[in-house]
Structure 1
Amino acid sequence: MPGRPPSPSKAETSPSHARASSPSRPLMCRLKAGKAGQWEFHYCLTKPPRPRKRLHSQYSAMIISPPFLSANNAINNQIGHQATEGTYPIGQKLAWHGGMHLAAPITDNNASQVRAIADGIVVYKRNPTPRSEGHALAYKGWTDDGCVIIRHDTSIGANNEDETQVRFFSIYLHLDDILPAVQQGQAINRKAPIGRAGMIEGHANLIHFEIICDDTNLEKLIGRSRGELNINVNGRSDTVFGEMYIRLPVGTQVFPQRPALNQATGQNGTATTEELFVGLHYNRGNLDIKTYRANGTVAGTMPPVANGEYDLYREAGQIVEAYRRAQVPIVPVHSAVFELLRFGRVLGPDALTPADTPHWRKINTGTTTGWVNLNADNVHVFSDADAPHWAGWHLLNDFADDDSRCDLALIRNLLDEDKNSITSRAEAERRIRNPSIQTYLRGLVCKFPTEWHKGHIAKRWGWLKREGPAGAPTAKPSLSSNTYLSERDFPEFERYAQALGFWEEANIGIPEVHWHFHPLKFIEHFSKCGWLSKEELKQIYTRTAHEVRERYRLDLNRTTRKYLYINSMVRLSHFLGQGAIESTQLNSMQEDSMLGRRNGNNFFGTRIDPASRKNEQVLGHWFGSEPGEDNGWFSSTKHNSRGVRIASSYNWRNGNLGDPDAIKYRGRGFKQLTGLLNYSKYWVYRGWLEPSSFDDQWWLDPQYQARNANRMRRRPPTINDPQRVTATPFNCMDTGGWYLLGERPSTIREIDSDLNRVASSTTERSTEQALSYRVTYAINGGYIQKDDRLRATREAKAMLL
């Protein structure tokens, strides 16, 4: 294909020339590639933006952030500094501790406010008790009892049309002030302030932070409710995010040289002697490849593959081309091979044929480096969404005796420093601060009774009267006099525990015995998800009707998962911001024709032709193919009602021939795919058009230049169903992702240089503006509606970052 066409003239890009001929709605113009060396306006109708309001419905998206924000509101906001005590999942005296204590960051001598981690409903609020001497909360120093519990109902993926909807709760305890706006039964938005961190046993600016769920939702959140991940079948396909993992069974062949791209095996291979898991992690354009053992240790790491993510589309094309050069009867579809490289398997509608199309990667097994086929027989594929045990996730339960003492040998042995089968308090305190131990504890998802139930305190905590450290830091836990609490002291502790309790009053609808997550691990994990639900998209595309958003939303999510790797909210913000202008917030998936007056090669539009907006699937044909439908708008030089030229004819541009190509290949889909050149590229990508059926660069045929189609020697593509773009919501959205990654690959690079947060200072906003303009140019080859695109991108960022 020829190189990038030059920029358009100022006359064509001037905003004053891009006006609608309709008096009530302005006309949006967008440049699209025309024939070599020329560019065209693309246009659709739009309305001025309305002010955005944060709304809430039952299900919000899994867009999540920590309970404390840094000064610049960064996406990697501070979770808070972990306090010296109050660790997860065990605390002092080896008792179960369902959350962690966090110290509020101090900014300008003030402690940061506690904030909601995700959209939700406040299901419980207890205002803090005023401080007073002799109160039960003054046990070992004052402890604030202000408490807020938020229920989060969210979506993390979908199987076909069935969304995976989950529910979890976040608990914020030891607040010394709760804002009046926080009201039980009312919605609260992510990052909304809740109140101020209080005191825990005399220590200031601390909170207890907890994330919990019940059995049913645990299985939805991480794919199982017990044991280790089943490695004998592929992982879940409803939700896929983060690092991809490919399980290699014992005996997998590792080859010293990479075989041909269309060959599933090689020569002189060496068999692996242990089960391995190859991790593929895309990191701002590069590809990181690690090899893990089943126990989670890293067997080997390869140097980052420079541009491994940016080049994924091209690499998939090379595999397809290798099959074509081999002149084999079956050639895999480019889109399916792209998914094979991206996900390790195919998740979309285009089948991978042949099914054994190879996926070669060079790995380090720990004993050798070499090439393995990640799509060989007996491999299985997973992602971080499966919460794999080799990635540090482990499910534990300890609730048979209904007390708060950790009796699991696994944890006690982990903290047994001298391996004498006795875990003293001193050992536990030292070991629990060990970084490797902390890493392991972060991945534990534990089922045990809440510590906040007011009843049965004697039953749940009575062991404190029977066990203790025996005085000396290294002594065994003992009985009788050297207990943690004496019979005389226990009632005071019991009153303290009752004063802090809230479980019966909160009545949040899950059992007293439930699952607990390390809250930091939970937030880090699900911040990779990025699946947009009804409510989240509603808050971004505010001017779109519910039924229109829902028609496209699931496939919008699948598109961003496929092409943008949606753990990047910055990429998603730009994609949605640009798409808001391209598709008029999903409202315009077919380019409008206009009615008016034709004068020779000029057409003066007066109003939209309503027939051009009819769903072509309902029509049963592409609009313009039936007599009387084509009035010449697309094949003429277009003017608005004031006589101002807004775009040239679509004939003999962008690969189009003469009529009826101008209307046949009008803009369709999320990114308004336009012209025979782009249609043919996408058709080949999806496997709908055989490349051998037409000649490459047909627009360079001298007779094309002479506009004489009948005498052309180079064969142009034949596409009889251009309306296929809008036949399904998936096709509509997928064309947009493909155009961005396949036809405008420099766009992602530009986006990745953006700030990973909402710009706040004048300098940051200026930098953000310049980058948004560059993204606009990378997509369009011009700066059409650059300020509208910037504004829409900022609106998406405000919601997502």
Structure 2
Amino acid sequence: MANMTRPSNPPSTPVKLLAFAYPFRKNAQGTDGPPADFIDEHEFHQLLRREPSGAYAVSGKGMWHGGIHVTEAGAGASLDLKGGVRCIADGEVVAWRVDRIYPVSEIPARNGQPAISASYSTGFALVRHSMEFPKDRELTFYSLYAHLQDFADYENDAHLPRPKYWATRFEVTTYAQDRPTIGSGCQSAPADQRGLRVRVSKPHGKVLCILPHGSQVSVGKREGNWGQIIDASGVSPYPGIAGGVAHPAVDGWMFLGEEHGGPVVKEVMPDSSLDRVVVLSRPSEVVPVKAGELIGHLGRYDSLSQQTSGQRMVHIEVFCDDSVKAFIDAGRAWIRQNGAHVSAWQQLVLPNEPTIQRIDSGTALYRQHDEEGAQAQQTGVIEVFPLAALATGSSDRQYIETVAGSDGEKRHWWKIDSADVRHQPIDGWVREQSFAGGTVTREFAQKWVDFQPLDDEHEPTHTMFATTNGFVDYSIGADVPDAGSLGKLSPLMTSIYQALNLAGDRAQAADDLRNASSGPWTALRMSRLIIQHESEWANPEKWKELIAAIEQRTGPKPEHIEEQKRIEKLVWWDAVKAGLTDFPASNVFHIHPIGLVGNFFRSGFRFTSAMLLRLFPSGNKEALQEVADELNAHLEAYELDTPLRRSHFFAQVMQETGSSLTREEGFFWRASSLIGSFSYFRHRPAEANAHGYHQTKPIKADGTTMSQSDFEAIANGAYGGRAELGNGDYASGDGWRYRGRGLKQLTGRANYRSFTRWHATLQQEWPHEVIDFEANPDLLVQPKYAARSAAYFWVDHKLADEADKGNTAVQVNSITAIVNLHTDSYEERVANFNKIWEMGEFN
């Protein structure tokens, strides 16, 4: 092994960048198009204006509301509801509930009005998230998805995907045909001992036992088409070896995909998992979930005031404890001190480019880029835009300077929509930075741009008023002076009103707050308020107090009784608190879900052929594009989802394939090198001299030029009979047949066979590609499969774990030792990594 190279980079202290996703995708454009991802939160806020009754902070009825609603008939009309509600950030499901069938509220006919039968969902999922910034400063927050679809609806639609966190059990089907292997003394197992193998590790670990047909087990961790068993009570497994011992299945891995023409397991829901709050209190029970993964689907929530045909909705909210204030302060302090220094971001292994464009109020909007014009209009609101969204705008709304400005840089200009002090729409141009017309800055998400915590006192029954009676006066239209004025609001609602900078009549403050979500700029500002308030999902007694106060003025109403019954079934806080010792008390800080995602969302990284061409300057552009397309389609499955992982991966590929991205091993060997390198030729020097070149490549000792037959002979001699490669002897031709191919130069029959097995475990990634690479090894020369084979080696050897440890030569050499232990190119691979890392191409 070559000497270890000293790192050119200081040791890193990585901070994991938490991934975020919007809770829905946009509807497909046209009849055949796929759903599209949001990249601009303004689009989502625009849809939420269709949901006035379920707006953040203040509902349409004048009550506190800690989240947002998305209904089928409202915002949902423009969303991909079939795709379901998606998790907003990487995290772990810690609690959930699913209704077997929706509960029903019954209100009898009265006063000539028909009876009402109103279904509603108590289903929910609670996800815990952890965000770190700067190093060793963490914030734990939770996202809630309430009023989710009941189990009966899933049973009625077999094609609808189910949430993976459900405590379903997996039942082994007759498609599973694994049998115990032959035991000692050639002992065979009875013919009826068929089922599904359980392994120590996936996909080729030692067999622990075989689960018989009809066995039911519970699975915790899931990776691809594999699941780790956490409960196998009541199962009597067969031994993995005939006549041997059946080891316990718990902690073993089972295959969850298809074999022999059908699924080897089917999901079943035990009765014990329905109609109750399930709390996952032990680390082994929590279910990891990634940003954008399915949480559930919209459930029924019918009105109690009128008979409806089945309204569907979801309530989404985010909350945390009071540590959020110190967390934000620490992030802002780090940005002030370090934000401008690229090396500081590299130390944390984080992207060093801002992602947010902020335009302050009082900024002049130019008539044209670099031309103010007469009487330029000024903004009366603060705006934030994702830079990624601005960059996707049409060419008439963006411009890049051809001559450097006063700051010595060639900057972007953007044409943006805004509003004046009266919130009337205006538009015009701004420069992305160093703008003469006002304060325009590029900001880092870690600064929590314009977020403001509020922790003033609120009214105990969750109204917007200082007293419950004040709310009753306002809601029933009582003849009292200034019923909806600012002076009647609670201290908290007064602070919200002031933070929104509402320009209306203060005597109508309650109306203005109820309608705040309908204005684009007040809705955006509201989404940056982090508000402390008792949760709606705790302390149901408060609703009794409110209903009692209302009925003192209106008399009893049957819908109030049913509403109280609903609330008692909906609350879950105490049950979760009892199971999660670190769960906060109910007076939490609420964060607007779309505001949070909008601030931190980064449009996903994508490889481009231009990036790869800079690493492989002699490579074919079409081939490089195919490689980029293949990697982009499976970034997470290939564990190439961070800059550090991508940089380490290509540091190795650069060395294995060279500047032209060679995808097939060459066999132009000098005869003397063959004798010195391979046992076969060391014992047969005449064959080495017959097939290798003598002095000048490719001329052999007899004066002839090396040919195809020479290349095959060299490969068969070098690799034939190699047990560690699984190859047959020289005569088998396996050395040539399974020569090095792909971006990692996969070599040997056993490795091609292993690649085939791995490929089958990820069949959901490529459902129409059932391929045997052992039977079709030449496929690995194609750019797509060349990239896929390298990804297989990367994933199967857990190289991402090594990459995550840092950006120094220590990590590069550790990976190299796994890829090619005896290579003499350790220094070159470190140099490759440093080149990629310093270029910052893969951030």
Q: How does the TM-score come out when normalised to structure 2? A: 0.41
Structure possessing the higher radius of gyration over alpha carbons: 2
